[in-house]
Structure 1
Amino acid sequence: MRALPLAALTVAATLTATLTATLTAGAVPASAAPAGPCDTPADRQVAEVQGRGAATPLAGQTVRVEGVVTGDFQRGDQLSGFFLQDPTPDGDPATSDGLFAFARDTFKDVKVGDRVLVTGRAIEYNGWTELSPVTAVDVCGTGSVAPLRQSLPADGLESVENVLLTFPQPLTVSDHYDLGRFGEVTLSSGGRLFQPTDRPGVDPALNQRRSLLLDDGSSRQNPATLPPLARAGDTVTGLTGVLGYGFGAYRLQPTEPVAYRAANPRPARPARVGGNVKVASFNTLNWFTTLGSRGATDAAEQQRQLAKLVAALKGLDADAVGLMEVENNGRTALQALVDAVNAEVGAGTYAALTHPYPGTDAIQVGLIYKPAKLKPVGEPAASRDPVFSRPPLVQTFRRTGGGQPFTMIVNHLKSKGSCPDDGPDADQGDGQGCWNATRVKQAQALLGLTAGLPNPIVLGDLNAYGEEDPIGTLEAGGLTSVTKKHVPASQRYSYVFEGLAGELDHMLVGRQLLKRVTGAAIWHVNADEPRILDYNTEFNPPGLYRPDAYRSSDHDPLVVGLALPGGRG
């Protein structure tokens, strides 16, 4: 073989050495290496996306931010995204350091504790600052963010939107109306919330600042798996979660288990009221024997409803009970209730009165009593004043064997719903709701009705809270609320509406009978209980139902004790 020239040998050696070095390095030169996803840095801080105001100042812009994942709710039946928080906050108390990434379940590998770089468009979604759509999520290690200590009352929560928070103070369950449907509970600092028109000294603005909505991190309605159940008045301490927003309210999505303390245990019986006669008031929440109307939709629900009502009446064990929301079908619905109670407590224990003029409304008031304890004096009477859409029922009683008489006037005044657009019955913005003018006229008519009656006791669902005009009218006319006199303020409520407790149900007595009142109580078996425990079968998990008094209605029953001279029993 012919030898190569020296110059050619030198070039070949040089090429061989270069190729060997390159292969040994295993890669192209570093200056030509492509960058990894985590090498593309954030171009905005989270606080810049949040801004100092209620809305993001970068709306519509695509941004890249860095943070640590604090809450993972990516499933479609959850929030379809995750929360991230900047571990190096900007130090401005007016800007939030948290953000929500609406990522659906596209980035399933993301989990709490991941350090991520997220690319997406900054938007304001119905008041919630978030990234949507998210186009890239790069996991670049791990990190941790300590929850920020937060307390109520709060002047505003915008500055901690999407931030991981912990509430060291005890918070009280004030509302759980949507616990079963949406997994929501309203919590409040400083005890439960009360209606501003129910008692003096309640500030509506402070109620708002004291409140926090606890959600379940889910978008599903009527979820099969429920959050923990609690009674209104129960408490939770050390609550921890991320603060989202939706449907006009800040919502804490828990990141740790929620453990309630039973600060308001179920009362097995009403408090003792003394006396030798017990009188009660009870709204039955549409006890209908006609199926598919206002009450039960089928026979199974009707039996469930009836069992709960019977348990409540047994627990009250009153000598006379004024009833509201009984179907206006003569004595049919009322007698069916009496028969069911007597089947439990003994034949003939209770008897029902026939309402002489029940009106044309779908519901009527009713009255049942124990013939062994009380004897009607005269026939039942009713007001025919057209101001009443549900005419009051009037009956005088004496204890069996004689003695001092008293007169029950059973009422269900005009409700606050179905508001007119204008006129004196429109909502005046004073907290008393609609139809207040009509309820005042009804209260005035009741005062006229009591004139000449022996020892009147006006009772029932008056659809007015304790400091509203109708109650003031009755009190100015010489009647006294026995619950205001005998029930502590913290326990004086019979109904909860939109998280605010108050007394819609009342018992007011004349001056002479007031001397005979030995005590009064409100039996909290309904207003404090989640509605998911009621008789309905449409959405309530079947395992929760019990044939007991709890959530037999949405109103708590009232009871008063009277010490009446004469008679026996």
Structure 2
Amino acid sequence: MRALCRVSPAGHPGGRGLRRRIRGRAVAVLAPAGLLPVLVTVVALVPVSAEPGTVVISRACAVPPDRRIAEVQGSGTASPLTGRTVRVEGVVTGDFQRADQLSGFYFQDPTPDADPATSDGLFAVARESVKDVKVGDRVFVTGRVAEFDGLTELSPVTAVDVCGTGTIGPAVVVLPRAAGATFEPLENMLVTFPEPLTLTDHYDLGRYGEVTVAAGGRLFQPTDREGVDPALDARRSLLVDDGSTVQNPVTIPYAGSQGVPRLGDTAPGITGVLTHGFGAYRLEPTQEIRFLRANPRLSAPLPVGGNVRVAGLNTLNWFTTLGSRGATTAAEQRRQLAKIVATLQGLDADVVGLMEVENNGQTALQALVDALNAKAGAGTYKALVHPYPGGDAIHVAAIYKPARVTPFGAARSSADPVFRRPPLIQEFRRAGGGRPFTLVVNHFKSKGCGVDAPAPDQEHGQGCYNDERVRQARAVLGLIDSMDLPGPLLIGDLNAYGEEDPIHTLERGGLTSLTKRFVPEPLRYSFLFDGRSGELDHALAGRRLASRVTGATIWHVNSDESRILDYNTEVNPPGLYQPDAFRSSDHDPLLIGLNLPRGEG
């Protein structure tokens, strides 16, 4: 049996607020705050079919709530009523009931209490099969109070009764949060962040539909530059989810007409329900999020001038051996190679230092040169032979344009065991003679903590093996001195951010960071880790050569791009791949301009 109610505006004669008429008897009902008063008239308690413009109310709506949502939430991180069965009232603010969503809905008390420490929202674990609700429904929900992964919810839910409609206005939240404040008082509530928010992390966009945005611009690694406040960065950040439990979705969230958003793109405002899961507060959007392309792609690196161009590129495991570190299939390998070649063509450098090339003699390196020359022209590039590549699965390498520069003498390296991936050292001069410079390609020990990592980590936020990277930096300085290298130019993935000990060691040893000198600080980054950008890839020059550097730039074709755009086929959505430079690796390439006059020995 259901009661059929016709809804009339509050201005209906004889009514003030809400009135419920049951069998000719009028009962006054106060209008909750935030709801427009309406006149609700019960026609009959008989089985009927809903007519247009009517609201169907269950007989169960006569059973009143026994608790307020604020009582269920409490003023702490966990509910004081955990394990109790309660009946509460609210208006639905977020509907995520489908099995491929969160299997429930959010609802909020339209008459919040006066305590700012208590949230007025709640999550009900109730799929459509329990009761299908929609945003704006006024519901009475009966269920057991539970805490799940830090979230206060009702589970299981034994009854959901739709008892009218209502509206909830979002609470306005401005970032950064105050020091010491958390999102707990807003848990499960409808909120809006009206300020522009910058995309600062998209690592899990394609996997879980998650991104992180921040007020005041992207986040940077605290050891990459001065003035970074990690505590403030945490308070100005917001994790945004897509309300879905689907992993690796075919349709990518937040991808608009301009494609998959890049780091640095900006959303003019975000509205949704603030919730908690997987160890973090997060926003489940209730309105479409549109990122504006505030960080457009550059089809070519910025100009660096000079008459010799030198580049550095971490290839992200270019392997010709399938199923090892690089591609797992021949199709993936072709896709990977096409992207690396497009990057090298865009750089158009005369000399390129390469990292993460398979250490299998000249096989992988020559395959890359052959593919590049197939696009650039036969004989455009040649590969150097590393005299001592070491025993690691990857090694450093270099290619050059013989029409532009000439190797002077044999390539050299070092057998010092401090180098897990020994450097490649080669002196070059412009074709036809002139002042020399010496390319020193290096790849310092990675930051990841392996089984032989020092423990505990006492490296002041610089990751594991910091001492080893410092020793490698000192060893490079020793090679420059002992080999009397003319015009040394160190290029490589040094696995150290700009203000970490290895970089300071090289700078104190007489080398100048060219990116610090030429690249504006907001653009001085080459890698994304844990939602923070920073520069792991460096170019440092000796004093005399530094005076002949005409420019330096970092071409942001990789770190700003989502990993779903790379060559992999296992999980990336079909149709996104393009044989271009964007997301050819996880490191951005850098480019240096040198002015090397002829006629000088």
The equivalent of 2:531 in structure 1 is 499
Q: Deviations over 1:126-147 (max 9, x none)?
A: 1111111111100000000011
1:431 maps to 461
Moved more, 552-561 or 149-158: 149-158
In 2, the alpha carbon distance for the partners of 1:493 and 1:477 equals 23
Change (3 A) 1:275 1:421: closer
Matched, 1:478 2:501: no
Distance 1:129 1:478 in 2: 58
Whole-Å Cα distance in 1 between the matches of residues 358 and 456 of structure 2?
28
The offset of 1:494, in angstroms, is 0.1
Matched, 1:520 2:552: yes
Aligned match for 1:530, one of 550, 562, 570: 562
Q: Please, which of 360, 365, 387 is the counterpart of residue 356 of structure 1?
A: 387
Residues of 1 paired with 2:453 and 2:375: CA distance?
Answer: 50
Deviation of the 1:420 alpha carbon: 4.7
Please give the alpha-carbon distance, in whole angstroms, between the structure 2 residues aligned to 1:123 and 1:108.
20
The Cα of 1:224 is off from its aligned counterpart by: 2.0
Cα offsets for 1:444-469 (capped at 9, x unmatched): 00110111100101110000000110
Does the Cα contact within 8 Å between 1:326 and 1:334 map onto a contact in 2?
Answer: yes
Match of 1:159 in 2: 185
CA displacement at 1:39 relative to structure 2: 1.2
Q: 2:445 matched to which residue of 1?
A: 414
**How many Å separate the matches in 2 of 1:463 and 1:128?**
38
1:365 corresponds, among 381, 396, 408, to 396
Query: How many Å separate the matches in 2 of 1:426 and 1:213?
Result: 30
Shift of 1:226: 1.6
Q: Which residue does 2:477 correspond to in 1? A: 447
Partners in 2 of 1:398 and 1:286 — Cα distance? Answer: 29
2:373 corresponds, among 342, 357, 374, to 342
Task: Supply the AA of the counterpart residue of 1:85.
Answer: Q
SS at match of 2:100: coil
Give the CA deviation at 1:109. 2.3
User: Is the 2:386–2:411 contact (alpha carbons within 8 Å) kept by the matching residues of 1?
Assistant: yes
- Structure 1 distance, partners of 2:283, 2:459, is 30
Match of 2:269 among 217, 234, 238: 238
Q: Could you tell me which amino acid in structure 1 is paired with residue 99 of structure 2? A: G
Residue in structure 2 matching 1:544, options 559, 572, 576: 576
Contact 1:402 1:567 in 2 (8 A): yes
User: Cα distance, 1:156 vs. partner?
Assistant: 1.4
Does residue 397 of the first structure (1) align with residue 428 of the second (2)? yes
Offset at residue 530 of structure 1 (A): 0.5
Segment drifting more, 53-62 vs 486-495: 53-62
1:36 Cα deviation after fit: 2.6
Partner residue in 1 for 2:284? 253
Structure holding more helix per residue: 1
Alpha-carbon distance in structure 1 between the residues aligned to 2:473 and 2:78: 49
Distance in 2 separating the partners of 1:482 and 1:198: 15
Equivalent-residue separation in structure 1 for 2:558 and 2:452 (angstroms)? 32
Residues 248 and 573 in structure 2, CA contact (< 8 A), matched pair in contact too? no
Tell me the alpha carbon deviations over residues 141-195 of structure 1, each in whole angstroms, 9 at most, x when there is no partner. Answer: 0000011111111131111111111111000000101111100111011000000
Larger Cα-atom Rg? 1
Aligned partner letter, 2:184: E
Distance 2:99 2:158 in 1: 18
Determine if contact 1:356/1:381 at 8 Å carries over to the other structure. Answer: yes
**Paired residues of 2:453 and 2:465 also in contact (CA < 8 A):** no
Q: CA separation in 2, counterparts of 1:461 and 1:542?
A: 31
CA contact (8 A) 2:306 2:593 kept: yes
Alignment of 1:93-132 (within 5 A): 93-132=116-155
- Which of 191, 196, 216 in structure 1 is aligned with 2:242? 216
Aligned to 1:184: 210
d(CA) in 1 for partners of 2:296, 2:244: 28
Describe the superposition over 1:249-291 as per-residue Cα deviations: whole angstroms up to 9, x where unpaired. 1111111111110000001110100010110000000000000
The answer on whether the counterparts of 1:74 and 1:108 sit within 8 Å (CA) in structure 2 is: no
How many positions carry a matched residue from both structures?
536
Checking the alignment, whether the CA contact within 8 Å between 1:420 and 1:434 is kept in structure 2 is: no
Q: Give distance in 1, aligned partners of 2:413 and 2:127.
A: 62
Q: Map residues 24-423 of structure 1 onto 2, 5 A cutoff.
A: 36-154=59-177, 155-227=181-253, 228=255, 229-420=260-451, 423=454
Q: Which residue of 1 aligns with 2:519?
A: 487
C-alpha change, 1:495 and 1:126, in structure 2 (3 Å) is same
Partners of 1:268 and 1:427 in 2: CA distance: 41
Decide whether the 8 Å contact of 1:403 with 1:566 is kept in 2. Answer: yes
Contact 1:527 1:554 in 2 (8 A): yes
Contact 2:131 2:160 in 1 (8 A): no
The CA distance in 1 between the partners of 2:347 and 2:465, in whole Å, is 32
Residue 560 of structure 1 aligns to a residue whose secondary structure is: strand
Q: CA deviation at 1:429?
A: 5.5
> Following the alignment from structure 1 to structure 2, what is the Cα–Cα distance between the partners of residues 567 and 165?
68
Paired residue type of 1:383: S
Question: Are the equivalent residues in 2 in contact too, given 1:460–1:505 (CA < 8 A)?
Answer: yes
- Aligned partner of 2:37 in structure 1 is none
Contact 1:400 1:567 in 2 (8 A): no
Question: Secondary structure of the equivalent of 1:471?
Answer: helix
Q: Alpha-carbon deviations, 1:354-374, whole Å to 9, x = none?
A: 111101100000000000010
Instruction: Return the offset for 1:85.
Output: 0.5
Question: SS state of the match for residue 544, structure 1?
Answer: coil
Distance 1:497 1:172, change over 3 A: same
Task: Report deviation, 1:422.
Answer: 6.7
Q: Is the 8 A contact 2:250 2:574 kept in 1?
A: no
Partner of 1:555: 587
Instruction: Provide the residue aligned with 1:459 in structure 2.
Output: 491
Shift of the 131–429 alpha-carbon distance from structure 1 to 2, 3 Å rule, reads farther
Q: Which moved more, 1:190-199 or 1:101-110?
A: 101-110
Which AA in structure 1 matches 2:584? Answer: S
User: Which residue number in structure 1 is paired with residue 12 of structure 2?
Assistant: none
Unaligned runs of 5+ residues in structure 2 are 1-43, 46-57
RMSD over aligned Cα atoms: 1.5
Q: For residue 108 of structure 1, report the CA deviation from its aligned partner.
A: 4.0
Q: Secondary structure at the match of 2:222?
A: coil
- CA change 1:187–1:39 in 2 (3 A) is same
Aligned amino acid, residue 528 of structure 1: D
**Cα–Cα, structure 1 residues 567 and 556, in superposed 2: closer, same or farther, change >3 Å?**
farther
For the 8 Å contact 2:453–2:464, the answer to whether it is kept is no
Could you tell me which runs of 5 or more consecutive residues in structure 1 were left unpaired when the two chains were aligned: 1-25, 28-34
Distance, in Å, in 2 between the alignment partners of 1:562 and 1:442 is 26
Give SS of 2:195's match.
Answer: strand
SS of aligned partner of 2:70: helix
User: Post-superposition shift, 1:426?
Assistant: 4.8
